[in-house]
């Protein structure tokens, strides 16, 4: 099924939060209609108690769809703001019959803060987020103190946060921001990243940056058990 053939069951202009046909719509400014997330295990979401893994900045979904195929014993959530990209992920779900993959259409931090249950996610991945390299644009970076605190809240004890970038400055920002929180420890020793990660999978951005000769940095942090 082509992405263009997929249509939401409600018009996006209605600004309503709803879950339908493997897509969870979370408009940033939704109508004041009561919504309570029923939990990852609920029918209409995943319908089972398998571990949940979330990827933010999913783009066209190539990486997360491949992980869903390779790891059918896990539930996967792709978070993407742009509906044109969401529809590409939705198409992959349909064409691959991926019942263990859900795509969230909305701004990631907003959806996480308001709807993700505490200690309900095993792994979080952030692959090649926009580095917003200019200082005046740093406020737009997804990796910030509030995001890191939200990840600590939603991830299970000893769960992991993995972040990947080709940008050395953003790499340093990620490391400093996560370690400043105090609730994480790096899986990798100083300098707290690795440039090789076997069986991690690949994506459009990784292939593009590698083709340009850029070095990819993988960061992984484990939630400390109090």
State the catalytic residues.
130
R_g over Cα of the chain:
17
3-state secondary structure of 164: strand
Q: Which residues lie across from 53 on neighbouring strands?
A: 76, 123
3-state secondary structure of 107: coil
Q: What's the burial of 137, exposed, middle or buried (CB within 10 Å: 0-12/13-18/19+)?
A: exposed
Task: Quickly count: other Cβ atoms within 10 Å of residue 225's Cβ.
Answer: 8
Distances (CA, A) of 41 to 4, 52, 59, 124, 172: 30, 10, 25, 18, 36
Angle ∠(36,38,42) on CA atoms, nearest 5: 165
Q: Which two three-digit tokens encode residue 10?
A: 């409600």
Q: How many CA atoms lie within 13 A of 29 on its CB side?
A: 1
**C-alpha–C-alpha distance, residues 68 and 46, integer Å:** 13
């Amino acid at each position: 099924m082509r992405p263009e053939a997929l249509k939401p069951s409600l018009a996006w202009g209605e600004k309503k939060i709803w879950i339908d046909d493997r897509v969870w719509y979370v408009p940033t400014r939704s109508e004041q209609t009561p919504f309570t997330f029923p939990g990852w295990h609920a029918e209409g979401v995943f319908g089972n108690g398998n571990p949940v893994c979330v990827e933010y900045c999913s783009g066209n979904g190539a990486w997360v769809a491949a992980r869903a195929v390779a790891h059918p014993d896990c539930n996967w959530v792709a978070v993407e703001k742009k509906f044109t990209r969401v529809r590409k992920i939705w198409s992959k779900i349909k064409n691959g019959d991926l019942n263990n993959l859900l795509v969230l259409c909305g701004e990631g931090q907003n959806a996480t803060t308001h709807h993700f249950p505490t200690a309900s996610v095993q792994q979080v991945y952030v692959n090649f987020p926009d580095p917003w390299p200019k200082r005046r644009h740093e406020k737009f970076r997804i990796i910030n103190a509030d995001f890191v605190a939200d990840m600590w809240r939603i991830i299970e004890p000893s769960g992991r946060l993995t972040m990947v970038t080709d940008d050395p400055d953003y790499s340093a920002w990620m490391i400093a921001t996560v370690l400043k929180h105090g609730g994480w420890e790096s899986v990798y020793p100083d300098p707290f990243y690795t440039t090789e990660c076997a069986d991690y999978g690949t994506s459009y951005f990784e292939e593009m940056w590698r083709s340009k000769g850029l070095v990819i940095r993988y960061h992984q942090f484990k939630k400390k058990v109090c």
